[in-house]
Amino acid sequence: MENYCEWKEGCLLVHMPKELDHHQAGLIRAEADLIIDTCRVQTLVFDFKKTEFMDSSGIGVIIGRSRKMSYQGGRVVAQNLNQRMEKIFVVSGLHKMIEKENS
Amino acid sequence: MENYCEWKEGCLLVHMPKELDHHQAGLIRAEADLIIDTCRVQTLVFDFKKTEFMDSSGIGVIIGRSRKMSYQGGRVVAQNLNQRMEKIFVVSGLHKMIEKENS
Amino acid sequence: MTQRNEMRLEFDARSMNEGFARTAVAAFIMELNPTLDEVADVKTAVSEAVTNAIIHGYDNPQEKVVLTCSVEGTAVELTVEDRGKGIEDVARAMEPFYTTRPELERSGMGFAFMEAFMDDVRVTSSPGKGTTVWMRKNLGNPKVADTYE
Amino acid sequence: MTQRNEMRLEFDARSMNEGFARTAVAAFIMELNPTLDEVADVKTAVSEAVTNAIIHGYDNPQEKVVLTCSVEGTAVELTVEDRGKGIEDVARAMEPFYTTRPELERSGMGFAFMEAFMDDVRVTSSPGKGTTVWMRKNLGNPKVADTYE
Ligand SMILES: Nc1ncnc2c1ncn2[C@@H]1O[C@H](COP(=O)(O)OP(=O)(O)O)[C@@H](O)[C@H]1O
Ligand SMILES: Nc1ncnc2c1ncn2[C@@H]1O[C@H](COP(=O)(O)OP(=O)(O)O)[C@@H](O)[C@H]1O
């Protein structure tokens, strides 16, 4: 495990990698789901501080986790999007589905 | 011209590029020779501050300019070599031919 | 800088090569002096097409993906080709959100991303034979996606 | 990390592609977690072989250089191939300081650098047909050149 995830008092913080593609998406999915399935996550935060590249595989991993959270009634937040990530969020429509925030 | 060269009171300072290969070597050679052939260069300084990569084409351009300088009786110095450049100097034998200095 | 220059890259259909393919293309188009955003656009499109070849085109990671890239003037042309399963209905496959692999959490946005970030995208495919994606982008021309907001 | 992975890269014999070829190889070997110095060693050897193909092998920049790279376990294997002029006497060409292009300020150190930075270098060539340089390096093994001083 690469340790993308940080778990603290009901909040799951996912540190998104520098380059988020299909290869990385699988690793994040596995690690995050382990926690979402076993702990009571109230807030899920995707942190993009380090992220410089993301393709549509990243969209898949975000939508997938958000769907899981909506079943159990939690909040999903994306934070620290740089300009490129903002663009990806707009092009993909994610900006209408996920709350954005700057930490 | 890319402006590798800085000319000041008898001293020609050549700023070596980040990656010094055959492609770059030709450009440096053209620019330096213009000055060596027209001005009275007493000291020729190769500055490697920015240089992270150099192959044997770099050796060629350094030896070529040094030879010109030795005809006209000037001094040749290499400065700010990082560890990698030190290694290249040793492997190529340049360290026995050129004075080293840290500015 | 306006002379034509081209390369052809062939590599194993492994997901770790997605990053490699992007980096190679980014390095190759540097001679056009692209903006950071243009580089990111091209990398994204390459990533989509290469990922598709790896996960939809093939089952076996030892099969080969072929990528070509040429630059001429201010334009970049790319092809990404596999000799894998092919696509039955290309028009449908290109619809946003259409995916045949929801279990892999594919978003169905791959072709949509290619179209958003490149100027022109064309797909030819034949079932059982493979798929070729051809893409083109003129650098130095702001595109719709850049003024999307 | 020990699975075999390979790529093949073909590009125009232009000097601007020397940097591209180095970058592509560096990106490809990243999965072996090389040290910075190992990456620099491999890049240097690639640069030498590719430059030779471009300036000694060919006269025409539209001819193609072919580079292959494979990783397996901790080893990198590379070939750089041209279908150009070839070398009459390979043993002599590999002697340090031997060059046929002194007017281009070639130092004659190209093969010497490949040998210093890789574990094994083999050259096959036939006049009029072309040249292939095969190189191998085991990463994680400090080499003579590293303890030269
Ligand atoms: N190279 C390919 N080989 C076979 N099928 C493909 C290929 N590329 C795309 N497809 C098909 O087109 C569909 C849509 O592709 P895309 O828009 O990239 O979305 P996604 O990759 O998220 O499924 C895929 O689900 C797949 O069925
Ligand atoms: N790919 C090649 N095709 C033809 N000749 C070559 C090739 N590579 C090397 N040579 C010959 O071998 C000589 C020595 O090569 P090298 O040690 O790299 O030194 P340099 O490139 O500085 O001349 C070259 O000068 C050239 O005559």
* C88-132 residue pLDDT tens: 999 999 999 999 999 999 999 999 999 999 999 999 999 999 999
Domain B5-101: CATH superfamily, name plus number: STAS domain (3.30.750.24)
How does pLDDT run across D69-86, given as a tens digit for each residue? 999 999 999 999 999 999
Task: Confirm if B33 and B1 have CB atoms less than 8 A apart.
Answer: no
Q: What is the mean pLDDT of residues C11-22?
A: 96
pLDDT at C148: 42
Domain contains C124: yes
DSSP H helices in C55-132: 90-93, 110-117
Average pLDDT value over all residues in chain D: 93
Domain count of the fold of chain C? 1
* Residue D143 belongs to some domain of the structure: no
Neighbours of A74 (CB within 10 A): 19
pLDDT level of residue D149 (50, 70, 90 thresholds): very low
Query: Does residue D40 lie in a domain region?
Result: yes
| Extended beta strands in A1-103, E state | 5-8, 11-15, 19-20, 43-47, 53-54, 75-79, 99-101
The pLDDT value given to residue D147: 44
In contact, C78 and C67? CB cutoff 8 Å: yes
Confidence band, pLDDT 50/70/90 cuts, at residue C141: low
Q: Is residue C147 part of a domain?
A: no
Residue D4 beta carbon below 6 angstroms from any ligand 2 atom: no
Q: What is the nearest CA distance from C3 to chain A, expressed in angstroms?
A: 30
Q: Given a cut of 70, is residue D145 above it in pLDDT?
A: no
Put simply, whether D8 touches C (Cβ < 8 Å) is yes
A–D touching, 3+ CB–CB pairs within 8 Å: no
Q: What is the CATH number of the domain that holds C68?
A: 3.30.565.10
- pLDDT confidence of D140, banded at 50, 70, 90? confident
Helix (H, G, I), strand (E, B) or coil at B44: strand
Residue D48 domain boundaries: 5-138
Residue D66 in any domain: the answer is: yes
Total Cβ atoms within 10 A of residue C6: 18
Is residue D146 very low, low, confident or very high in pLDDT (cuts 50, 70, 90)?
Answer: very low
Q: Is residue D144 pLDDT above 60, yes or no? A: no
In this prediction, residues C73-102 reach a mean pLDDT of 97
Residue D68, in any domain of the structure: yes
Q: Is D47 an interface residue toward B (CB < 8 Å)?
A: yes
Is D60 within a domain?
A: yes
pLDDT in tens, B58-100: 999 999 999 999 988 899 999 999 999 999 999 999 999 999 9
Residue C16: which of A23, A63, A87 has the nearest Cβ? A23
Residue A17 in this model has a pLDDT that exceeds 60: yes
* Best CA proximity match to C14, nearest among C66, C64, C79, C82: C64
Evaluate whether residue C34 is within a structural domain: yes
Candidates A2, A18, A22: best to mutate against C (most CBs of C within 10 A) is: A22
